[in-house]
């Protein structure tokens, strides 16, 4: 039998040479990968699961997921998540609903491979939920039998979530090689990812952070430290100031009342409130709003704020109504007071009109019949979604 080999992890910390630390900076998280217990990284991040709750239903299932609620709302990419699913295949799904593509995005995956806890009575999936941390451990779990490497072996690893948004992967025991049949889409086995949902079924991937397979070894620790995001800002002032300290191009949308750069889980709300057309990057009194195209580009000309526009429209309508009332009053006054100055002027206007012949028709022909004229085409500023080929259409 031909096997495709993927070198993923090592067989022991002592076989990997000097300890190393890998740093990788991203917009949403800073990723640090520590090898071989450097700076006591393994000892400090390993969680003792002696008092943990064993999820027996998951531990006896080949393919399954269980909904769990931690004791704190967990900020994931700036969004507070109050519940998510633990899966038997080595990852957490932070999708609002289960579907066939939960492994593709909206996940926290310490080891996203085709595991099967039901193969052994010693395989367990356990949870330790505390006010200051939430930990899930997959212990002594093997790959599905049809996808297992001839050398066999099991995996034990943890993921810990903290109230500040930090995520920690701890690899206690991992095997050196996997077959490609054990992988999902030949992608890296570990990382995090998020997407926003449009039209109830389209998942648009907007960020993914992977850990290289070769960096995952026994006694490896990976730490994702959460960074400030647009959507986590709760006021216009906070939204404006985050632009100076991060690489985000945040804008405040008054109609939806939230801060965004157009790429977060509130994208449908952003579109529904036409925030791509009217938003602001300045929050001072009497501020100027800048018109944004749907791809985030800012136009060169400022437009007045919505409140100023509404006031101007209302004022104009009031002036027009007053003028019409005045004209109607003068006409009626002149009609019933023919000897007055206004009445005599009204007679003069009537005689001039009748001298040239009043039009008896009610339709002004413009060379073509109305039915022959082409209908007017309304100009539409289309809603473009984020330029992203990573679109998943799933039955949600």
pLDDT tens-place string over residues 38-73: 989 999 999 999 999 999 999 999 999 999 999 999
Q: Identify whether 97 is part of a domain.
A: yes
Distances in whole angstroms, Cα of residue 298 to Cα of each of 230, 277, 306, 316 = 17, 10, 17, 29
Does residue 199 sit in the same domain as residue 261? no
Does residue 197 sit in the same domain as residue 256? no
> What pTM was estimated for this model as a whole?
0.70
Q: Identify whether 191 is part of a domain.
A: yes
Q: Poorest-confidence range of 7-11, 64-68, 78-82, 316-320?
A: 7-11
Q: Identify whether 21 is part of a domain.
A: yes
Mean pLDDT of all residues in the chain? 79
What are 308's two structure tokens?
A: 């100023």
Work out the average pLDDT over 268-282.
Answer: 86
Look at the block and give the residue holding tokens 């939960």: 102
On the question of pLDDT at 319 being above 50, the answer is yes
Work out the average pLDDT over 295-320.
Answer: 58
Does residue 174 sit in the same domain as residue 274? no
- Which residue did the predictor score with more confidence, 191 or 314? 191
Domain count, the chain: 2
Give the pLDDT score at 312: 74
Give the pLDDT score at 154: 94
Reported as a pLDDT band with limits 50, 70 and 90, residue 382 is: very low
Helix (H, G, I), strand (E, B) or coil at 249: coil
On the question of pLDDT at 31 being above 50, the answer is yes
pLDDT tens for each residue of 106-128: 999 999 999 999 999 999 999 99
Measured over all CA atoms, what is the biggest interatomic distance in the chain, rounded to whole angstroms?
115
Q: What residues contact 303, with CB distance under 8 A and at least 6 apart?
A: 288, 289, 290, 291, 309
On the question of pLDDT at 274 being above 60, the answer is yes
Instruction: Please name which of 256, 259, 218, 215 lies closest in space to residue 241, comparing C-alpha atoms.
Output: 259
Q: Which domain holds residue 311?
A: 230-332
CA distance 232 to 230: 5
Q: How far apart are the first and last CA of the chain?
A: 39
Give the pLDDT score at 326: 84
Which DSSP letter does residue 42 get?
H
Q: Identify whether 177 is part of a domain.
A: yes
On the question of pLDDT at 3 being above 70, the answer is no
Look at the block and give the residue holding tokens 């040479």: 17
Does residue 181 sit in the same domain as residue 254? no
pLDDT tens for each residue of 67-95: 999 999 999 999 999 999 999 999 999 99
Q: Identify whether 391 is part of a domain.
A: no
Does residue 204 sit in the same domain as residue 236? no
Does residue 217 sit in the same domain as residue 251? no
What are 138's two structure tokens?
A: 């997959």
CA distance 42 to 150: 29
What are 280's two structure tokens?
A: 């602001």
Helix (H, G, I), strand (E, B) or coil at 241: helix
On the question of pLDDT at 350 being above 50, the answer is yes
What percent of the chain lies above the pLDDT cut of 90?
51
Secondary structure element (H or E) that encloses residue 133, with its range: strand 133-143
Residue ending a domain, choose from 332, 355, 374: 332
Does residue 164 sit in the same domain as residue 256? no
Instruction: Please name which of 273, 230, 276, 274 lies closest in space to residue 249, comparing C-alpha atoms.
Output: 230
Q: Identify whether 354 is part of a domain.
A: no
Does residue 107 sit in the same domain as residue 220? yes
Q: Identify whether 50 is part of a domain.
A: yes
Give the pLDDT score at 396: 57
CA distance 149 to 155: 13
CA distance 94 to 82: 10
Most confidently predicted of 15-19, 158-162, 232-236, 243-247: 158-162
Reported as a pLDDT band with limits 50, 70 and 90, residue 284 is: low
- The CA R_g of the chain, rounded to the nearest whole Å, is 33
388 and 205 Cβ atoms separated by less than 8 Å = yes
On the question of pLDDT at 296 being above 70, the answer is no
- Which residue did the predictor score with more confidence, 354 or 43? 43
Does residue 39 sit in the same domain as residue 152? yes
Give the pLDDT score at 177: 86
Does residue 104 sit in the same domain as residue 130? yes
Query: Given phi > 0 = left and psi -120 to 50 = alpha, else beta, which region is 241?
Result: alpha
Give the β-pairing of 74-76 and 79-81: antiparallel
Work out the average pLDDT over 178-203.
Answer: 89
Q: Identify whether 215 is part of a domain.
A: yes
Residue ending a domain, choose from 227, 251, 272: 227
Give the pLDDT score at 349: 60
95 and 106 Cβ atoms separated by less than 8 Å = yes
Residue ending a domain, choose from 196, 227, 258: 227
Give the pLDDT score at 122: 95
Does residue 242 sit in the same domain as residue 206? no
- Which residue did the predictor score with more confidence, 38 or 276? 38
Does residue 90 sit in the same domain as residue 142? yes
Q: What residues contact 2, with CB distance under 8 A and at least 6 apart?
A: none
Which DSSP letter does residue 263 get?
-
Which DSSP letter does residue 279 get?
B
Phi first, then psi, for residue 351 (nearest 5°) are -65, -35
Which DSSP letter does residue 211 get?
E
Give the pLDDT score at 304: 41
What are 354's two structure tokens?
A: 């009748």
On the question of pLDDT at 289 being above 60, the answer is no
> In 99-117, which positions are buried (b, 16+ CB within 10 angstroms) versus exposed (e)?
eeebbbbbbbbbbbbbbbb
Phi first, then psi, for residue 329 (nearest 5°) are -65, -45
CA distance 89 to 99: 14
Q: What angle do CA 101, 106, 107 make, to 5 degrees?
A: 90
What percent of the chain lies above the pLDDT cut of 70?
76
């Amino acid at each position: 039998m031909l096997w495709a080999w993927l070198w993923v992890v090592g067989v022991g910390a002592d076989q990997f040479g000097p300890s190393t630390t890998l740093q990788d900076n991203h917009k949403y998280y800073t990723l640090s990968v520590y090898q071989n217990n450097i700076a006591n990284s393994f000892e400090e991040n390993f969680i003792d699961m002696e008092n943990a709750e064993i999820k027996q239903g998951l531990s006896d299932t080949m393919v399954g997921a269980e909904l769990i609620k931690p004791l704190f709302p967990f900020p994931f990419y700036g969004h507070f998540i109050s519940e998510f699913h633990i899966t038997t295949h080595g990852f957490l799904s932070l999708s609002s609903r289960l579907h066939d593509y939960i492994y593709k995005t909206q996940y926290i995956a310490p080891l996203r491979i085709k595991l099967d806890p039901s193969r052994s009575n010693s395989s367990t999936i356990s949870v330790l939920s505390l006010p200051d941390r939430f930990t899930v451990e997959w212990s002594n779990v093997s790959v599905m039998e049809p996808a297992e490497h001839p050398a066999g072996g099991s995996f034990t690893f943890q993921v810990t979530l903290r109230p500040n948004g930090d995520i920690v992967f701890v690899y206690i025991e991992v095997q050196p090689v996997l077959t490609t049949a054990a992988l999902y889409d030949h992608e890296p086995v570990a990382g995090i990812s998020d997407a926003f949902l449009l039209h109830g079924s389209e998942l648009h991937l907007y960020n993914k952070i992977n850990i290289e397979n070769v960096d995952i070894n026994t006694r490896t620790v990976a730490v994702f430290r959460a960074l400030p995001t647009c959507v986590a800002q709760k006021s216009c002032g906070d939204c404006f100031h985050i632009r100076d300290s991060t690489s985000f191009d945040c804008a405040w949308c008054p109609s939806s009342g939230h801060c965004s750069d157009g790429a977060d889980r509130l994208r449908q709300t952003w579109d529904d409130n036409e925030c791509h057309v009217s938003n602001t990057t300045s929050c001072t009194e009497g501020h100027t709003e800048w018109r944004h195209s749907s791809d985030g580009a800012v136009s060169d000309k400022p437009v007045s704020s919505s409140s100023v526009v509404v006031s101007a429209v209302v004022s104009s309508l009031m002036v027009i109504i007053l003028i019409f009332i005045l004209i109607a009053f003068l006409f009626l006054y002149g009609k019933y007071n023919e000897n007055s100055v206004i009445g005599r002027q009204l007679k003069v206007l009537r005689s001039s009109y009748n001298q040239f012949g009043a039009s008896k028709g009610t339709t002004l022909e413009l060379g073509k019949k109305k039915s022959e004229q082409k209908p007017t085409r309304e100009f539409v500023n289309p809603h473009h979604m984020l330029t992203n080929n990573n679109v998943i259409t799933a039955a949600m």
